[in-house]
Structure 1
Amino acid sequence: MHSAYGALHSAAAALTAHRRALVRPHPDRARLPVVFNDYMNTLMGDPTTAKLVPLIDAAAEAGAEVFCIDAGWYDDDGDWWDSVGEWKPSQTRFPQGIEEVLSHIRERGMVPGLWLEPEVIGVRSPMAGKLPAEAFLQRSGTRIVEHGRYHLDLRHPAAVAHLDEVVDRLVEQLGVGYFKLDYNIDPGAGTDVDAVSPGAGLLACNRAHQAWLEAVLDRHPDLILENCASGAMRMDYALLSRMQLQSTSDQQDPLLYPPIAVAAPLSVLPEQSASWAYPQPGMDDERVAYSLCTGMLGRLYLSGHLPTMTGAQREAVRAAVAAYRDIRTDLATAVPVWPLGLPDWADPWLSLGLTTPDHTYVGVWCRADERATASPSLPHLAGRQADVEVVYPRHLPAWDGEWDQETGQLVLGKPVPGPSARIFRVSAALPSSPDSSHLL
């Protein structure tokens, strides 16, 4: 085994085990439901009943288990950025009420979800005048304003009471079972209220935020919380030990997303790592599969204009969801490896492996326009016979490939032009000696 490979992956294995020891118990940890979110490259913050119903039906047919309505559901006038904070459903976007849409999500067998940015109050929000000044971050006696928003100080009982009312109302009255929690501002150094310094105030506020999250989950133990924070701005285990999954990026270009998805398990558990898979009707078959593969070795996080896809395209999405649901139990206990090394942004070939005692799942993305070859390395399987099968996509031309038992390499050739991706399952025979049984 190469020493650099072994050192990197031993460290990653230790970090992965440590993070799993940190996380709060939650039913989501075992279920790992497939999430469809209407935002990325799809509704982009402009949900309405008319737009959502076809998406809900298509997502359900694809096999999604959660449907999250993203930003905009509270907006009546199209200028919502500095007016957020009450979190009451729009009447213009949902003429019969958002209840109609949420009920339709449940009727199609999915958990309803909503986007929420709980820690902010827009300067034009009614809540800006209803809450006391002490409920907001301040410096030198002045309320902090950042990009048209105030920031709540969750040390203050009025701020906590407001957010508890919002969450409890949406969960108990509207049946919401999933929140995508966003965070799109930076309040700077912190607050000097009841603190020896702004930094000390900020630390106390962060701890109050964590306590609020804990209390929410204590009251609603099945509620699923996604940590978004402007595309992974706060991807840390102060939050991820409490929340169930993490949006890895707001990257909109499917060709550019794989380096993010491949690198993510070095920082976040695979089963919490939600990378967008947003296939679109205008993509060719290989590009649809490429986009879907990006989400499959983590939390499959779907979007895209599924209703206007062809029947064959919709079937490709269904097949990806079915394949993911078949392997996700393994992903929740897997250890990450990087068969082509950690990714560079412009690498033509990228690979992520997730290893279990029985299988190694290997995602491989090729961004070269021409036909090309690569040899992802799995030295923990060197010297062992192995079966290699395609997990997804099975409906497209097979890549050329063979297992080199002596070197522990998966020798691959991409026989099609243009970007292409595949997810493989490598199942090795039992090692012939005790020394070769170590995973890393």
Structure 2
Amino acid sequence: MPGRDWDSLLPLVEVTVTGQGRAWSGERFIDTAVGGRLTYRGHESVQDGEWQCTTIRLADPETGLAVDLTLRTCPGSGFLRSQVRLVNEGSTPLQLESVSTLTLGGIVDAMDAMDAMDGLTLHWADNDWLAECRWQHAAFRDHIVPLNRSAHGHEGRGCFERYSQGSWSTGRHLPIAALTDRAGRAWLWQIESSAGWRYETGEREGAAYLALFGPDDAHHQWRELLAPGQEFTTAPAVLVGTESGGLDAAFGELTAYRRRMRRSHPDHTALPVIYNDYMNTLMGDPTTDKLLPLVEAAGSAGAEVFVIDAGWYDDDAQGWWDAVGAWDASNSRFPGGIQQVLDAIREHGMTPGLWLEPEVVGVRSPLARTLPPEAFFRRGGVRVTEHGRHHLDLRHPAARAHLDQVVDRLVDDWGVGYLKLDYNINIGPGTENGAESAGAGLLGHHRAHLDWLGSLLDRHPRLVLENCASGGLRMDYAQLAVAQLQSTSDQQDPLRYPPIAAAAATAAAPEQAAVWAYPQPHFSLDEIAFTLTGALPGRIHLSGFLDRMSPEQFALVRSGISVYKALRSEIPDSLPFWPLGLPSWDDTWIAYGWRGQAATWLTLWRREPTADERGRGPRPRDQHGADDTTRTVTISHLRGAPLRPTLLYPATSDATATWNAADGQLTVTLPRRDTAVLLRLSAAPPAEGREG
């Protein structure tokens, strides 16, 4: 191609092999010796349903390593899914230390304006317990500074990188990030691994590049020894590219991709309302007497699933945390048997659900002594212990047989139709089984774990699985390709949940993103509406002491559930957008919208500027002057459309909204702080709402 700087392109696959290394030493995992030697052997393309698959075959003549790069897409889409398979066709064992799943060089290269990289913006998401999906952005040049390569004759040694640590795949960051430019182009990527991932971007030969990896030796203690004839396959990754529309357009493409690649399940379109007794309610202390009033109230409010969360198995005077593993119902908590509560749930028209933490066994559990040592994570020959728990290795038949027996009993004998699968420890780099590295052991376990989840759904096709790890600390699409829902947070402060709820659709498809709504009898009507409104765009995790509410409070809860049921059929085909940009943690105004077939919906929150834990006032960015009651948001895809905004929830709100079709701008007034509203933009207002 005339004008293109071919030197800025990368090998299709980068492979670090012990004894081979890289051509230029530093923090980057590109420019590997093996990657630079890979030669083309052929390719083939096949059609697999709606998927178009191309496999490019490469080989390293020196080591005999054969590499197959498989790229998948769907005609007319803007995504490319990549996965790499390596086979040792040589005569000598090869130890892998890192393998790229996807590399891309030449982003905004010499064909673009000379200052093209000066116009690039990096976007990444920090993640933590209670503070998930916190998107950050910075100029590319803030992290990748120009070094004047011509003066030195070499590339830089550094890059911008993010990676996971231990068994919480999203305990530090989401495996999702993006580059955007001033023209509205976007490059958005997602790595699908629960057992280690890393991405890097930087400058190479005058252009930006991108490289996506699963686990590696430097960050995850992962090494894979390939004897002659053995093979290894990387974690998948996907790259979305859009020519306009920025992040909103890119996340729309990523959402469509997520819906294509996951396991199909009726829950993805049914979207039942879920009540869970935990958050700000029973908090792991369920009993028959406490649950029965909640069951009745939840059924009356419109819930369709009732989940008994942690503690239902607790019959230990010393506490259940380090004694879990058998998953038998507590006799002291349920004197008439847990079936009494499960039957009551069904009698009120709801599906019973239970909480499990299947991958752990408490150190005081009898199973810690009866299961074989090889069924647990070990390092250096010692069984790993973390926060009073051991960790099962689901590659071992005894570990898997134990969990199969537990789940089949709960589903077949107890009639449970929903399992919340939690994961509350970070077990570190993994497990060593013989000579394998800890990271390879973690990867092997997680692949066995995903296989086990799939086998549960094979045996129980209507069983619904919720993926939870202390909220959203394992929020990746290795898990979400199998599980139906994702817990987005354990955040208990309703005023701190909006930035998580608004950004949840960046990490999970809206119909998979479960957001807590925990109205309480001591809440004002504004507070009840505030916590409910945040859950309406995705999946409702209802909680709270509904049985203690006044008729007026309960009616406000019921009306929110009714609004959700009226609009939920639109959610599985909708695409998310953020007219005020992705939210920051302390933003006072937050907006999240979704485009459906029939209309566009928009949730807006107005919060009190937040003070820190020591009572200090808000930062200057949170202060907007005396009148912060009104915001104008631009909704580009509706520009020119003659629409009327309709207030759907809460009906008690005194919010107003006006639409400027020529500019595509919606102006919303929320007179009181710490309030939120759900609006619908359509040609005619629906019967259940009122005009703004």
TM-score normalised by the shorter chain: which range applies?
Answer: over 0.9
Structure 2 distance, partners of 1:75, 1:357, is: 47
| 8 Å Cα contact 1:2-1:379 kept in structure 2 | no
Aligned to 2:654: 398
1:368 deviates by: 3.6
Indicate how the Cα distance of structure 1 residues 373 and 195 shifts in structure 2: closer, same or farther if over 3 A, else same.
Answer: farther
Structure 1 distance, partners of 2:633, 2:598, is: 19
| 8 Å Cα contact 2:573-2:597 kept in structure 1 | no
Structure 1 distance, partners of 2:628, 2:529, is: 17
Structure 2 distance, partners of 1:285, 1:255, is: 14
Structure with the greater relative contact order (CA < 8 A, sep ≥ 6): 1 or 2? 1
The residue type paired with residue 390 of structure 1 is L
| Residue deviations 1:316-358 (CA, integer Å, cap 9, x gap) | 1110001001111101110000011110111110010000233
Aligned to 2:90: none
| 8 Å Cα contact 1:403-1:411 kept in structure 2 | yes
Match of 1:168 among 378, 388, 408: 408
Aligned to 2:436: 196
Aligned to 2:286: 47
1:414 deviates by: 1.3
Structure 2 distance, partners of 1:358, 1:30, is: 16
Name the structure with the higher helix share. Answer: 1
Aligned to 1:58: 297
Aligned to 1:272: 512
Match of 1:379 among 636, 640, 655: 636
Match of 1:411 among 667, 678, 684: 667
Greater Rg by CA: 2
Structure 2 distance, partners of 1:182, 1:227, is: 7
Aligned to 2:354: 114
Identity %: 54
Structure 1 distance, partners of 2:183, 2:628, is: 28
Aligned to 1:68: 307
| Residue deviations 1:75-123 (CA, integer Å, cap 9, x gap) | 0135101000000000000000101000000010000000000000000
1:186 deviates by: 1.2
Q: Does 1:27 align with 2:266?
A: yes
Structure 1 distance, partners of 2:417, 2:510, is: 22
1:14 deviates by: 1.1
Taking structure 1 as the reference length, what is the TM-score of the superposition?
Answer: 0.95
| 8 Å Cα contact 1:335-1:355 kept in structure 2 | yes
Structure 2 distance, partners of 1:286, 1:401, is: 18
Q: Does 1:152 align with 2:408?
A: no
Divergent runs of 4+, >6 A: none
Q: Secondary structure at the match of 2:470?
A: helix
1:400 deviates by: 2.0
Q: Secondary structure at the match of 2:300?
A: helix
Q: Does 1:422 align with 2:422?
A: no
Taking structure 2 as the reference length, what is the TM-score of the superposition?
Answer: 0.61
1:195 deviates by: 5.2
Which 5+ residue runs of structure 2 have no aligned equivalent?
Answer: 1-181, 186-243, 610-626, 685-692
| Residue deviations 1:178-212 (CA, integer Å, cap 9, x gap) | 00000001111111104531111111111000000
1:141 deviates by: 1.2
The residue type paired with residue 43 of structure 1 is L
| 8 Å Cα contact 2:653-2:677 kept in structure 1 | no
Structure 2 distance, partners of 1:130, 1:407, is: 69
Q: Does 1:129 align with 2:369?
A: yes
Q: Secondary structure at the match of 1:180?
A: strand
1:50 deviates by: 0.4
Structure 1 distance, partners of 2:525, 2:401, is: 50
Structure 2 distance, partners of 1:19, 1:340, is: 24
Structure 1 distance, partners of 2:472, 2:572, is: 20
Q: Secondary structure at the match of 2:479?
A: helix
| Residue deviations 1:353-388 (CA, integer Å, cap 9, x gap) | 000233111000111487610012211101111121
Structure 1 distance, partners of 2:431, 2:340, is: 42
Aligned to 1:105: 345
Q: Does 1:258 align with 2:489?
A: no
| 8 Å Cα contact 1:194-1:201 kept in structure 2 | no
RMSD of aligned residue pairs (Cα, Å):
1.5
198-207 vs 115-124, which deviates more? 198-207
Structure 2 distance, partners of 1:255, 1:188, is: 32
Structure 2 distance, partners of 1:404, 1:77, is: 63
Structure 2 distance, partners of 1:195, 1:116, is: 32
1:302 deviates by: 0.3
Match of 1:364 among 604, 611, 635: 604
Match of 1:334 among 569, 574, 580: 574
| 8 Å Cα contact 1:349-1:368 kept in structure 2 | no
The residue type paired with residue 156 of structure 1 is H
The residue type paired with residue 264 of structure 1 is A
1:146 deviates by: 0.8
Counting only pairs closer than 5 Å after superposition, residues 209-228 of structure 1 correspond to structure 2 as: 209-228=449-468
Q: Secondary structure at the match of 1:289?
A: helix
362-371 vs 268-277, which deviates more? 362-371
Q: Secondary structure at the match of 2:601?
A: strand
Name the structure with the higher strand share. Answer: 2
Indicate how the Cα distance of structure 1 residues 84 and 388 shifts in structure 2: closer, same or farther if over 3 A, else same.
Answer: same
Aligned to 1:85: 325
Aligned to 1:300: 540
Match of 1:183 among 419, 423, 434: 423
Q: Secondary structure at the match of 1:214?
A: helix
| 8 Å Cα contact 1:358-1:428 kept in structure 2 | no
1:138 deviates by: 0.8
Which 5+ residue runs of structure 1 have no aligned equivalent?
Answer: 430-440
**Count of aligned residue pairs for this structure pair:** 427
Aligned to 1:438: none
